[in-house]
Structure 1
């Protein structure tokens, strides 16, 4: 409560004193890296090391380089042949500003056995809602395909990993995922879609607290005043508001290997132009595929330092990257494919800001591929004229982008790599576990793509059940 009060007071003060530089107010956020350029360089070092390793191993006939993609996140855990029994290794694989997100590492495994969400105040043991509100670190897994229809916002507690590898898990419904004033959350391999407004109800956020929630925005994932967050290999689409929004002093975030589609306002980073604490927001956006039917905000930034690296933007309707409030945008090694509309070729948009004001903003494009007439308008000190309006070129290194983003989105479906783990993602109890309602199908479901049940499912399920028995009996 005290932390929330402080943030509100700072916001009020900034509204009265919008011209006071952030440096004088000492608005450094907890978890903010002192040298963001160093973090950006480390991302490139990790990518280059993975690509070099793949190329070197590929030259030797006897070496098996089939697991290597050059994507440093995937190569970190998928090249372990026994990774299904070493799931928590994933927590060591993040890069960028969210690299310190440990999630539920060193915590117990929690198996979600019940896909219902009937009571947001007193959730049943075995449900996902019961797991995410617990106080202790938990590594949350799914033994079968699930469609979880939320009744209200799913409010997380700190130190949780949502690990959907090996199952086809869909989260839809009221409010979807809320990360508010917490830290250390990993969300991996989950479909999140068809999220709508909810609220005007009591919702539990911990074993000892529940409270009244006003109407939510209907975001897929809402990050509010939180740090050390990593969202990886998820598929997001068809939500009421943003697919991922990060506001109110959130920082230390990596958004990687995701598939975005069929949405208007994709991603918002920053609460408002005048909210000074968001000057400390630091976000890495890497290896994502921005797919069909996206209109704008990939992302839309207010303040902060945003590193957009090695993503594939396959058309937009208005713009790809927008901003206001003087954010730093570092765009490196992306492929921007413009739409056919000749009035929408520009990658960038300065929102509601005169050119005389944004000319000094630090927006730069380095090594990006501009396709079908796309161009990036750079700004800031030292920007050369030739970089101000890049011309369309053939994507000479397009194969690299395809290699790095080829498995973006949820694994195991939509023709992604199906070797995803301990559980079966095939039919169970005569169906796929997701129902047939077309409103609850996203663009990565791959209805005709199913895995065969694993022959080791029963043994592995029993083994993991032993390690989780104490968690299933939580009070």
Structure 2
């Protein structure tokens, strides 16, 4: 059993000396960035997802074991585990109605489970939304795959999706076009907002170890009754409205929404919505927040937000020190919303405005895994984003 006494004392020291620790966090961020460029490999970090598979030098021969490593509300997402491999060999997207075999679009629309991998490094510029069918895994490990400079990913009225190890950025608004969603159906699509990943009326979704930035709308949005979602180990940068969870204040069906946000790094150039929540149950656990301009976590329509073991580093200016923001609500309304901060590390003046009576039943419903000490966040999020995996080596 691990000795946690040193962790507890470190955490106590951090609380007593926030300015010193803020400096240490800045140094850690710089070091992590340099190591990321060098393709640093790590193992046995305490991150339960990574430690489930990354220590295996033969991971490339046992790719589907990844499906057994999910945690949180999306832990039962199997993706294409029970199907065949599909190798993407062609980065083109010439015809969204009649996609070529060997393209990513041809892979994701199939009616059977598929574990989708890539033959080589590629940049895929989509002409229209990539509309996924159920029971698919997009696995970018071992190559450098970018979905960029065009449309991006739509997960609509489907189930069991895993997206792992890809770069998603510079997504554009597209639409008013015909797009195929299965081998037997295509239809007219109105304008899409330009989200990196749009989840609409879907369940059992796991988004892990991706790098997302600079899209026309959100980086990840989940709306219209979507639930059983885990968003983990991702690296978010250079974006305004990062993540929206919940369609609208009046869409009460989003009360079923359960989302885990764990081990992500919310990095440079971010402004707000990390996430912005409505109605449902949200577990925000062991993430590293190193940049925001307006706020980190916001919400409306009485969501339950359980923030545990995160590290919040407020901006250097005297504004935006508050982590939280209640959107369009006055204190008499939001004081009963169940928002809590438990074991979070607040740096450089950051503070979390808690509310509610601490209803244990609500927090139990919003808890999806055991939080680790906030003093371990730098280790847990050290390798966030798309990994630089190489065949025959630990990833």
TM-score range, shorter chain: 0.7 to 0.9
1:333 aligned residue: 309
Structure 1's unaligned 5+ residue stretches are 1-48, 56-65, 384-396, 413-418, 424-450, 452-475
Q: Residue in 2 aligned with 1:421?
A: 391
In 1, Cα distance between equivalents of 2:79 and 2:117: 13
Partner of 2:347: 371
What is the aligned counterpart of 1:219 among 171, 176, 195? 195
C-alpha deviation, 1:230, in angstroms = 0.2
Corresponding position: 1:357 with 2:315: no
Q: How far did residue 75 of structure 1 move?
A: 0.3
1:81 maps to which of 33, 37, 57: 57
Asked whether 1:165 is paired with 2:141, we answer yes
Do the aligned residues in 2 keep the contact of 1:165 with 1:411 (CA within 8 Å)? yes
| Residue 319 (structure 1) aligns with | 295
Conservation of the 8 A alpha-carbon contact between 1:175 and 1:217: no
Deviation of 1:340 after TM superposition, in Å, equals 1.7
Contact 1:51 1:70 in 2 (8 A): no
CA deviations 1:26-46 (Å, max 9, x no partner) are xxxxxxxxxxxxxxxxxxxxx
The total of aligned residue pairs comes to: 346
Answer yes or no: is 1:345 the counterpart of 2:321.
yes
1:19-58 matches, within 5 Å, as none
Q: Is the contact made by 2:340 and 2:358 (CA closer than 8 Å) also made in structure 1?
A: no
**Counterparts in 2 of 1:206 and 1:382: CA distance versus 1, 3 Å:** closer
Match among 180, 185, 202 for residue 178 of structure 2: 202
Question: How do 1:360-439 and structure 2 match up within 5 A?
Answer: 360-382=336-358, 399-412=375-388, 419-421=389-391
Secondary structure class of the residue paired with 1:339: coil
> Using the alignment, how far apart are the partners of 1:285 and 1:51 within structure 2?
26
Specify the SS of the correspondent of 2:253.
Answer: helix
Q: Deviations over 1:26-85 (max 9, x none)?
A: xxxxxxxxxxxxxxxxxxxxxxx8998xx9xxxxxxxxxx62010000000112232210
Residue 97 (structure 2) pairs with residue 127 (structure 1): no
What secondary structure does 1:343 align onto? coil
Structure with higher Rg: it is 1
Task: For residue 400 of structure 1, give the secondary structure of its aligned residue in structure 2.
Answer: helix
SS in 1 for 2:171: strand
Equivalent position of 1:193 in the other structure = 169
Q: Which residue of 2 aligns with 1:30?
A: none
What is the 5 A alignment of 1:245-264? 245-264=221-240
User: What residue number does 2:33 align with?
Assistant: none
- Cα offset for 1:382? 4.4
Pick closer, same or farther for the CA change 1:103–1:422 going to 2, 3 Å: farther
Q: Is the 8 A contact 2:338 2:358 kept in 1?
A: no
- TM-score (norm: length of structure 1): 0.71
The runs of at least 4 aligned residues of structure 1 exceeding 4 Å deviation read 49-52
Deviation at residue 172 of structure 1 after TM alignment = 1.3
SS at match of 1:179: strand
Does structure 2 conserve the Cα–Cα contact (< 8 Å) formed by 1:137 and 1:159? yes
User: Match of 1:298?
Assistant: 274
1:274 maps onto 2:228 in alignment: no
Contact 2:343 2:374 in 1 (8 A): no
**Number of the residue aligned with 2:261:** 285
Structure 1: how far apart are the matches of 2:277 and 2:390? Answer: 34
Residues 165 and 188 in structure 1, CA contact (< 8 A), matched pair in contact too: yes
* SS of 1:134 mapped into structure 2: coil
1:107 Cα offset (Å)? 0.7
CA contact (8 A) 1:50 1:70 kept: no
CA separation of 1:309 and 1:105: change in aligned 2, threshold 3 A: same
CA distance in 2, matches of 1:305, 1:260: 22
Aligned to 1:111: 87
Shift of residue 174 of structure 1? Answer: 3.2
How far residue 403 of structure 1 moved from its aligned partner, in angstroms, is 0.4
Change (3 A) 1:50 1:144: farther
Which gives a bigger RCO, structure 1 or 2 (Cα 8 Å, sep 6+)?
2
Judged with a 3 Å threshold, the aligned counterparts in structure 2 of structure 1 residues 169 and 51 are, in CA distance, closer, same or farther, namely: farther
Q: 1:241 to 1:50 in 2, by over 3 A?
A: farther
Specify the alignment match of 2:241 in structure 1: 265
1:195 and 1:93 map into 2 onto residues whose CA distance is: 29
**In 1, Cα distance between the equivalents of 2:207 and 2:304?**
21
- Separation in structure 2 between the aligned mates of residue 103 and residue 132 of structure 1, nearest angstrom: 11
Q: Are the counterparts in 2 of residues 411 and 420 from structure 1 also a CA contact under 8 Å? A: no
TM-score by length of 2: 0.85
1: CA distance, partners of 2:307 / 2:126: 36
The answer (yes or no) to whether the contact 1:51–1:69 under 8 Å persists in 2 is: no
Which of 159, 173, 181 aligns to 2:157? It is 181
Deviation at 1:398, TM superposition (A): 5.8
Pairwise CA RMSD: 1.9
